[in-house]
Amino acid sequence: MTNSSFWVGVFSLAHITLAGLGVGFMILAPIAEGLGRTRPHFTDFAYSATRFTLVTYTTSIVLAVFMLELFIGLFPLTNSWLFNHFRSPLHLALAAFFIQVFCLYPYYHFWNRLRSKSITGHMTLGASAAVLILIWGGILDGIGSFMMTPVEGETGWARLWNPTWVPLLVHRFFGNLVIAGYVMAAYAGWRLWNPSLQPNHVEYYLTLLKTGMAIGIVSLMIQPVSGFIFAQQIQHAQPDVQQFLYNGPTILLVYGQFTLLALLLLGSHLIFCPGHFDRNHSHWAEFLYVLSIILMVILAPYPFYRRIVTVIVLLQTGWHLTVVFPVWLRDATPTLNKPFTRSIAMTLGFAALLLYLTMGTIREMARGNDTINGIIERQMESAFIAETFP
């Protein structure tokens, strides 16, 4: 069964890497298009982000089908149970997905034609695709959260309303924005390495880098709060999960998660530095910030203390941002186009993806020996396969 979980996990992670980015970009594209009315660079970004979504779209879906097929073959009981008990929500999910395909493809492939008729109409099309993909993902998240915190319910809808569904939705939503923001900045950083870029292109990629960083860090600051609510709900519904996470081999993943979070905060801070060092900020404050972040990682297995430190880190980050963002909005900030900044931006994109995947892995491993907490055990799956197909 461990091997089975491994292979399902591999394809699941490959799928959510693309799917998470795709959803993030689908949310950002119509917003960027709206901003593009006054700042054309954002329209270019909206187009590029949608292009990325489309290019990776089928690959992402096929990876999902791959994962599902492995799930059917290797976890037949869990698979049947879930599809059987969530059939009504799944019908809605399929309908939403179906309509979404018909919004997304014209949004990209008839970009100029539709925009020439109505930019608002075109944005509405993109926004509809984003809302519909969130409905699709939301229902699948409902099933995922049920596997962790199942509830008694007569219908699929009732089971969907389990304690961790809404917290997971919020956590996932901002998680998608974190990776979309940092990957956007990483892409801009990578493109800025090109020495033969024309000045207007340099300006475009600098805007992209700043916007990506801003989206990434703001969403990242929301994540500890939404994550706290998510963890509280899990603790309330399944008290043994936290114990399992902090006392087993999964502790390494927890450390990994906070190390990556620390890396994102520190890396972002290094990019922001030129924005506020110019304004004579205290080196002691910098030292305290780094110390707080290190403490947050060290205290990872002790939730109470770690949360106190995390609040301090968030307050410090927020304070830095109040200085940095006005500068970024006001000035052209050509100083960002340095090898150091570009390298950091690219590293952060990679780290954000890793963090996203690590958190997904932790959530799946938290169920321990159960595929659906308290309903189906892995051993039942093994026994079923062995009995039915020796």
Partner 1 sequence: MTLEPLETSMTVGRVAIAASALSHSLFATFIVGSSLIGAITATCSYVTGKEWFSRLAKLIAFTLVLSTATISFLGVLLVFFLNMYWPQFWHRIFHVMFWPFIGEAALFLGEAIFAYAWYYLWEWGQHGWRQKMHLAFIWIAAGCALAAMFLIDITASYMLTPYPVHAAWENIFNPTMIHLDLHRWFGNLAWAGFALAAICAMRYLKADNGKDQRFFQQGTAFCFVIGYGALLIMPAVGYQYLLHLRYGQPQAFYTVMLGERSWLFDLVGLLYGLMILLGSLYVNRMMQAQQQYSSIYSGFFPFSFGIILLAVVVLGMPYHVQHVPGLNRFLDQEINPLGKMQPYKYFALSALVVFGFVNWLYAFRAFWKRRAHPLPAGWTKAHRAMASTAITLAGLTIIMLLAMGWVRESARAVNGYLIYDVMRLKDEDSTYTDTGRTSELAFPPLETRGKAVTP
Residues found near partner 1 in the complex (CB under 8 A): 51, 54-55, 57-59, 61-66, 68-70, 72-73, 76-77, 79-81, 83-85, 87, 90, 94, 97-98, 101, 105, 109, 375-376, 380, 384-385, 388-390
DSSP line for 234-253: HHHH-HHHHHHHHHSTTHHH
Cβ 208 to partner 1, closest distance in Å?
20
Per DSSP (E only), the strands in the chain are 370-372, 376-377
Helix axes 76-85, 378-388, angle to 10 degrees: 110
Question: 66 or 325: whose CB is closer to partner 1?
Answer: 66
Cβ 317 to partner 1, closest distance in Å?
38
Question: 51 or 201: whose CB is closer to partner 1?
Answer: 51
Cβ 11 to partner 1, closest distance in Å?
9
Cβ 120 to partner 1, closest distance in Å?
26
3-state secondary structure (DSSP) of residue 359: helix
Question: 248 or 368: whose CB is closer to partner 1?
Answer: 368
Q: Give the C-alpha separation, 315 to 323, whole Å.
A: 13
Ramachandran category for residue 290: left, alpha or beta (phi over 0 → left; psi -120 to 50 → alpha): alpha
Question: 64 or 186: whose CB is closer to partner 1?
Answer: 64
Cβ 52 to partner 1, closest distance in Å?
10
Q: Give the C-alpha separation, 25 to 155, whole Å.
A: 33
Task: Catalogue the long-range contacts made by 381-385 (C-beta closer than 8 Å, 24 or more residues apart).
Answer: 381/1, 381/4, 381/74, 381/75, 381/76, 381/77, 381/78, 382/1, 384/76, 384/77, 385/74, 385/76
Cβ 134 to partner 1, closest distance in Å?
17
Considering Cα of 325, then 218, then 204, then 190, what sign does the dihedral take?
A: positive
